């Protein structure tokens, strides 16, 4: 052996020449036929393959998602695989509209065993394969192309012969052939062997055979694969006799792109797994493919509305972990850490609400998290880089407090200080605790004990209001009375005239109030913006079942905060 060093020892992929390719001008407009290979390709790649119970749970989840073709295993490979196949059939786990698929190598004794395994099933795809790539022919089989073709056509003959009585007994049996390592096979030879298999299986347009074209090992760019596929489909004699299926793996990390471009190039069916489990870097991820279509306005015909439940099942059965950044499902994929992203999301959410638009138009969120059963609540976590809008956004999204714009900076600074102090991001509950501590539970130098208003509204806007009540000052309760042109003015005047601790120098700037519901309980929440005697802005928040009490509490909250912050 005289191996070249480093990258020089690798043989670059030879692209398939093609004239007038059409796939780049196409778009995906409908869902392919989906086939799950979780229970076979996914399962064979697990450190601990699934037991019967786990496979059954997984199978039922796939059915609930809406997958209609499910490769359940390799029943001739082991007793366990055989037993699982039998249990699915005999235990009546397979709905009538679901087809099970079983994999077998193109070898006689394994094919015979597979026919035994599927007896009694209603709908079956019998999937056989042999490897066709240049490399495998050279280093594994030491065979020329006619030899490799004979393995496939002998298997096709046997399968066709064994299928006839089974079909006569009522089984809806279809065939699938995979030229394994298709991506590493010369296209003219791939066409030749697939055409021979179609002939030997008596494929017709009415009873087409599935030609599954695996990127067993992904070794070229997605556009190069699309060229190969378009060339293959154009060259295949009697193309209408075949359903063109993809089976992408993900060695270059481009399984999704390969599949999408393969669909543009004419594929009609996709074999994939949930979250991309499978040999080495995995099979292509069915969830990402489906949700990518969904975000382009195409119905993927799969149901991922409760993605967390599917992820939990997946992690339990496979003992694998879904990564935090896995598209659509990862823990962090609906989280914005950057302040400018948070502000833009905030504005997008406001736009959605105000404009009444019926389209999703929120920057930085390619999908409405609710569509996959995720909450808005974890969209934003606050860290010291989050900017002033982030904290207010969390208060709105998670707790329904719609802070006035002028208050965002003040509360943002409170949150930022705490985030700097603890040195990490804050979660929504921690942000609410800060809000509570800063506003709702601020130490009460002044406290409203009792109040009533007497109002005299005249024609036009003129009105006269009398405040009557009791206010606590350092725990001492005093009578308070004031008159003004509105309730807030009357209350300010009453505070000014308190016998002890009278309040002066505060100026009213602005006011905002809204209802807030928790379960069946609805309260008013009021935000007051004052200028303190030094002219500094100070905000207060009050909450009550009574609207005027909420605003009076908010005024005292602002004053109490200003006194407390002076200390």
- CB neighbours of residue 231 within 10 Å: 20
Among Zn ion, ligand KIV, none, partner that 383 touches (CB below 5 to 8 angstroms by kind): none
Give the x/- contact pattern for Zn ion in 522-551, rule: CB under 5 A.
------------------------------
Pick out residues in 238-257 that bind ligand KIV (CB under 6 A): 247, 249
- ∠397-399-402 over CA atoms, to 5°? 70
Q: Using an 8 Å Cβ cutoff, are 412 and 389 in contact?
A: yes
Among 38, 41, 260, 532, binds Zn ion (CB under 5 A): 41
Which residue, 41 or 343, has its beta carbon nearer to Zn ion? 41
Question: With CB under 6 A as the contact rule, which of the stretches 28-36, 209-217, 289-297, 372-380 interacts with ligand KIV?
Answer: 209-217
Cβ neighbour number for residue 268 with a 10 Å cutoff: 15
Residue 18: CB atoms within 10 Å: 18
CA 19 from chain center: how many Å?
39
DSSP state of 94: S
487 binds ligand KIV (CB under 6 A): no
Q: Which positions from 21 to 60 touch ligand KIV by CB under 6 A, shown as an x/- string?
A: --------------------x-------------------
Stretch that binds ligand KIV, among 208-216, 229-237, 385-393, 460-468 (CB under 6 A): 208-216
Piece of 211-219, 227-235, 317-325, 386-394 that binds ligand KIV (CB under 6 A): 211-219
Site for ligand KIV in 353-412 (CB under 6 A): none
Sequence-separated (6 or more) residues with CB below 8 Å from residue 503: 446, 492, 495, 496, 559
**179 contributes a contact to ligand KIV by CB under 6 A:** no
Q: Are strands 463-473 and 446-457 parallel, antiparallel or unpaired?
A: antiparallel
* 71 touches Zn ion (CB under 5 A): no
190 contacts which partner out of Zn ion, ligand KIV, none, CB within 5 to 8 A by kind? none
Q: Which residues contact 286 (CB under 8 A, 6 or more apart)?
A: 34, 36, 67, 270, 272, 273, 274, 302
Buried b / exposed e along 385-407 (16+ C-beta atoms within 10 A): ebbbbbbbbbbbbbbebebeeeb
Question: Least distance from C-beta 47 to ligand KIV, angstroms?
Answer: 18
Residue 271 touches Zn ion, criterion: CB under 5 A: no
Per partner kind, with CB cut-offs from 5 to 8 A, the member of Zn ion, ligand KIV, none near residue 178 is ligand KIV
Q: Which helix (H) or strand (E) holds 179?
A: strand 172-180
| Contact of residue 180 among Zn ion, ligand KIV, none (CB under 5-8 Å per partner type) | ligand KIV
Q: How many residues bind Zn ion (CB under 5 A)?
A: 1
- Asked if residue 76 binds ligand KIV (CB under 6 A), the reply is no
| Shortest spacing between CB 109 and ligand KIV, in angstroms | 18
Distance of alpha carbon 543 from alpha carbon 548, whole angstroms: 10
Q: Find the binder of ligand KIV among 54, 69, 81, 180 (CB under 6 A).
A: 180
CB-count exposure of residue 272 (10 Å: 0-12, 13-18, 19+): buried
Question: In whole angstroms, how far apart are CA 175 and each of 11, 106, 208, 316?
Answer: 35, 13, 8, 33
Other beta carbons within 10 Å of 369: 18
Q: By CB under 6 A, name the one of 129, 232, 492, 506 that touches ligand KIV.
A: 129
Q: How many residues bind ligand KIV (CB under 6 A)?
A: 10
Q: Contact positions toward Zn ion, by CB under 5 A?
A: 41
Rule CB under 6 A: which residues touch ligand KIV? 41, 103, 129, 178, 180, 212, 214, 216, 247, 249
């Amino acid at each position: 052996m005289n191996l070249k060093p480093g990258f020089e020892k690798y043989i670059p992929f030879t692209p398939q020449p093609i004239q007038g390719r059409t796939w780049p001008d196409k778009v995906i407009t409908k869902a392919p036929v989906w086939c799950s290979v979780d229970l076979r390709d996914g399962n064979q790649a697990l450190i601990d393959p699934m037991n019967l119970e786990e496979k059954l749970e997984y199978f039922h989840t796939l059915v609930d998602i809406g997958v209609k073709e499910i490769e359940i295993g390799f029943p001739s490979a082991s007793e366990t695989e055989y037993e699982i196949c039998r249990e699915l059939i005999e235990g009546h786990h397979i709905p009538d509209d679901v087809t099970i698929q079983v994999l077998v190598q193109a070898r006689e004794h394994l094919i015979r065993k597979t026919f035994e395994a599927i007896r009694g099933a209603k709908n079956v795809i019998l999937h056989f394969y042999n490897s066709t790539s240049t490399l495998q022919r050279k280093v594994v089989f030491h065979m020329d192309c006619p030899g490799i073709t004979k393995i496939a056509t002998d298997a096709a003959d046997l399968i066709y012969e064994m299928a006839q009585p089974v079909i006569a007994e009522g089984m809806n049996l279809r065939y699938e052939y995979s030229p394994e390592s298709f991506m590493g096979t010369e296209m003219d030879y791939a066409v030749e062997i697939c055409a021979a298999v179609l002939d030997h299986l008596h494929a017709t347009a009415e009873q087409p055979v599935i030609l599954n074209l695996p990127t067993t090992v992904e070794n070229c760019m997605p556009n190069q694969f699309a060229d190969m596929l378009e060339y293959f489909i154009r060259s295949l004699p009697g193309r209408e006799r075949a359903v063109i299926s993809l089976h992408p793996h993900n060695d270059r990390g481009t399984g999704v792109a390969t599949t999408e471009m393969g669909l543009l190039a004419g594929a009609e069916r996709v074999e994939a797994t949930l979250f991309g489990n499978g040999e080495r870097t995995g099979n292509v991820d069915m969830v990402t493919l489906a949700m990518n279509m969904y975000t382009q306005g195409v119905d993927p015909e799969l149901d991922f509305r409760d993605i967390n439940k599917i992820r939990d099942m997946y992690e339990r059965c496979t003992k694998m972990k879904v990564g935090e950044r896995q598209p659509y499902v990862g823990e962090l994929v609906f989280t914005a850490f950057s302040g400018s992203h948070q502000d833009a999301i905030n504005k997008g959410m406001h736009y959605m609400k105000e404009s009444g638009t019926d389209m999703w138009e929120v920057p930085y969120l390619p999908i409405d998290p609710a569509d996959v059963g995720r909450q808005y609540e974890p969209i934003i976590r606050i860290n010291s880089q989050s900017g002033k809008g982030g904290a207010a956004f969390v208060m709105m999204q998670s707790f329904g407090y719609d802070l006035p714009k002028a208050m965002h900076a003040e509360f943002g600074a409170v949150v930022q200080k705490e985030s700097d102090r603890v040195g990490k991001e804050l979660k929504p509950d921690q942000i609410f605790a800060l809000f509570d501590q800063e506003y709702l539970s601020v130490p009460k130098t002044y406290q409203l004990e009792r109040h009533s208003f007497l109002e005299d509204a005249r024609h036009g806007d003129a009105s006269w209001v009398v405040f009557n009540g009791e206010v606590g000052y350092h725990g001492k309760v005093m009578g308070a009375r004031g008159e003004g042109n509105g309730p807030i003015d009357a209350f300010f005047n009453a505070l000014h005239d308190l016998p002890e601790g009278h309040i002066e120098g505060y100026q009213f700037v602005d006011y905002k109030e809204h209802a807030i519901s928790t379960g069946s309980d609805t309260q008013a929440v009021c935000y007051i913006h004052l200028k303190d005697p030094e002219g500094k802005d100070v905000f207060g928040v009050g909450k009550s079942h009574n609207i005027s009490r909420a605003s009076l509490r908010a005024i005292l909250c602002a004053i109490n905060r200003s006194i407390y912050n002076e200390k």
